[in-house]
Amino acid sequence: MQQQLPSLIDPPILFAHRGARAHAPENTMDAFELALRLGATGLESDVWCTADGVAVLDHDGRIGHRFARSRSIARVRRNDLPSHIPDWVDLFELARRHSVPVSLDIKGDDPDTIADAVLDAVEPAWRPHVWLCHPDIDVTLRLRKRHRDARLVDSTRLHRIAEGPERRAARLANAGVDAINMRIDDWNGGLTTLFHRFGVHTLGWDLQHEHQLRPGLRMGLDGIFSDHVDRMVDVARDEFGPGV
């Protein structure tokens, strides 16, 4: 069994992936509210901008049905979207009321505009509670120059880090990027310790079962993402106590 390693955030953040998507329709306000009732200490979603510049939450970024051609959210005005797709500001207000952070995967072809739309809706004191994630490190580094007060996350996979983990950790630290997010099977205790040595937070996604959740928490990850909020919370409370 993985020994307990320290994390930079104690206890780590328990992010509900797309809300409590194992229990309710994903990326809906019902799913986010249920996730909080189940004990999640963070919320996660995917953010796009509509044709009229409204930041909204959806995974695939397309609307339509089986008998019609789907359309990109970026080409649709907010008032023409289905009612179940929330605005970012609705999720932000929920998170602020419950004092929990939000992780957002920036989607679409114009990440700068999307990041602007997200952060323009957030007062400066709350921007450090918003974690903005992108899979292209060059985009992430550019966003850091534009936005100094949000948390930025390098979302990647271990096999995509051509320069190796230590050089990536140094690059992120030097640029002021807050965290790296990888799938749980990319992580081990040695890697979390390495990134922590550079002051970079470590996030892990796709922790769905106890055999992933328990080692992930013990290896010192600073935040984990799960569809199964109930399992995640139960394991975290078993590891860290009922106050999690």
Instruction: Take residue 26 and report the two structure tokens written for it.
Output: 């994903």
User: How many percent of the chain have pLDDT more than 70?
Assistant: 97
What average pLDDT does range 75-103 have in this prediction? Answer: 96
Q: Which pTM value belongs to this model? A: 0.95
Question: Sign of the CA dihedral 176, 179, 185, 187?
Answer: positive
Strand segments, DSSP code E, in the chain are: 13-17, 42-49, 55-57, 62-63, 71-72, 102-106, 130-134, 151-155, 179-183, 201-205, 223-226
The pLDDT of residue 193 is above 90: yes
What is the Cα–Cα distance from 241 to 12, expressed in whole angstroms?
A: 12
Band of pLDDT at residue 67, cut at 50, 70 and 90? very low
Band of pLDDT at residue 69, cut at 50, 70 and 90? low
What average pLDDT does range 199-212 have in this prediction? Answer: 98
Identify the residue whose tokens are 């992936």. Answer: 17
What was the pLDDT predicted at 1? 63
Helix or strand run (H / E) with residue 3: none
User: How many percent of the chain have pLDDT more than 90?
Assistant: 89
CATH fold of 13-48+88-240 reads: TIM Barrel (3.20.20)
What is the Cα–Cα distance from 192 to 85, expressed in whole angstroms?
A: 35
What was the pLDDT predicted at 61? 86
What was the pLDDT predicted at 70? 79
Domain segments of the chain as ranges: 13-48+88-240
69-73, 130-134, 188-192, 196-200: which range is least confident on average?
Answer: 69-73
Band of pLDDT at residue 95, cut at 50, 70 and 90? very high
What was the pLDDT predicted at 3? 82
Higher pLDDT among residues 135 and 63, named by residue: 135
